[in-house]
Structure 1
Amino acid sequence: MKRAGILNRHLSGALAELGHGHGVLVCDAGMPIPQGPRVVDLAFRAGVPSFAEVLEGLLAELVVEGATAATEVREANPAAAELLDGHFPGLALVPHERLKDLSADARLIVRTGEARPYANVLLRCGVFF
């Protein structure tokens, strides 16, 4: 048994399969899930687990070279915007409809139980060397 880190076997396994340039969408409970990408659904109840909890856990295990979020997050969800800005100084912003289009090319989608709007980010994997 793992001692620490992400214990969910489906998520841990999916993360181990990621490579440089692959996309990982971390999304709220309301984000439409496109056909195609692998999905690990962590949503349990409204707000559980939160977007922040899942993002923090993923960032502890992933190398991320870039991130994209919806422009609308700034006005509709200042807490999520502040969290994203704190982790990604070069955060790219696109309209929400464009983020939904981009999510179709993600390798992995991690759905949280987040119930606040626009708590979504598309991460681009980097390399550790």
Structure 2
Amino acid sequence: MKRAGILNRHLAGALAELGHGHGVLICDAGMPIPKGPRVVDLAFRAGVPSFAEVLEGLLAELVVEGATAATEVREANPAAARLLDDRFPDLALVPHEQLKDLSAHAHLVVRTGEARPYANVLLRCGVFF
């Protein structure tokens, strides 16, 4: 058994399959999930697990070279906006509808139980060398 890191076998396996340039959407419970990408649904109850918990756990495991979020997060969810700004100084912002379109090309979608609006980010995987 793993001693640390991500213990969910479905998520750990999906992360191991990621390569440079692949997209990973971390989304709230209300984000429409497009057909196509692999989905690991972690949502248990409203707010559990939170967007912040899942984001932090994934950032500990992944090399990320870029991130995109919805412009609307700034006004509708200042806590999520601060978290994203702290983690991604070069955060790209696009309208929510465009983020939904971009998410259709993600390799992996990780759904959280987050119940606050616009707690979504599309990560672009990098390489460790």
Aligned partner of 2:78 in structure 1 is 78
Give TM-score, length-normalised by structure 1.
Answer: 1.00
1:81-118 deviation per Cα after TM superposition (whole angstroms, max 9, x unaligned): 00000000000000000000000000000000000000
Task: Give me the whole-angstrom Cα distance separating, in 2, the residues matched to 1:43 and 1:92.
Answer: 26
| 1:92 is the counterpart of 2:96 | no
The answer for unaligned runs of 5 or more in structure 2 is none
Matched, 1:26 2:26: yes
Q: For 2:27 and 2:36, locate their aligned partners in 1 and report how far apart those are by CA, in whole Å.
A: 16
Q: Shift of the alpha carbon at 1:33?
A: 0.4
TM-score where L is the length of structure 2:
1.00
Identity, % of aligned positions: 91
RMSD: 0.2
Question: Which residue of structure 2 aligns with residue 43 of structure 1?
Answer: 43
Q: Deviation at 1:5?
A: 0.1
Distance 1:107 1:95 in 2: 21
State how many pairs are aligned: 129
1:49-102 CA distances to partner (integer Å, 9 max, x unpaired)? 000000000000000000000000000000000000000000000000000000
Residue 34 (structure 1) shift: 0.3
Deviation at 1:32, TM superposition (A): 0.1
Distance in 2 of aligned mates of 1:34 and 1:122: 13
SS at match of 1:123: strand
Q: Distance in 1 between matches of 2:106 and 2:62?
A: 15
Post-superposition offset of 1:17: 0.2
Q: After the TM superposition, which segments of 4 or more aligned residues of structure 1 sit over 3 Å from their partners?
A: none
Alpha-carbon distance in 2 for matches of 1:36, 1:125: 18
Q: Give the distance between the partners of 2:83 and 2:10, measured in 1 at CA.
A: 25
- Between the aligned partners of 2:118 and 2:33, the Cα distance in structure 1 is 14
Once the two structures are TM-superposed, the CA of residue 121 in structure 1 deviates from its matched residue by: 0.1
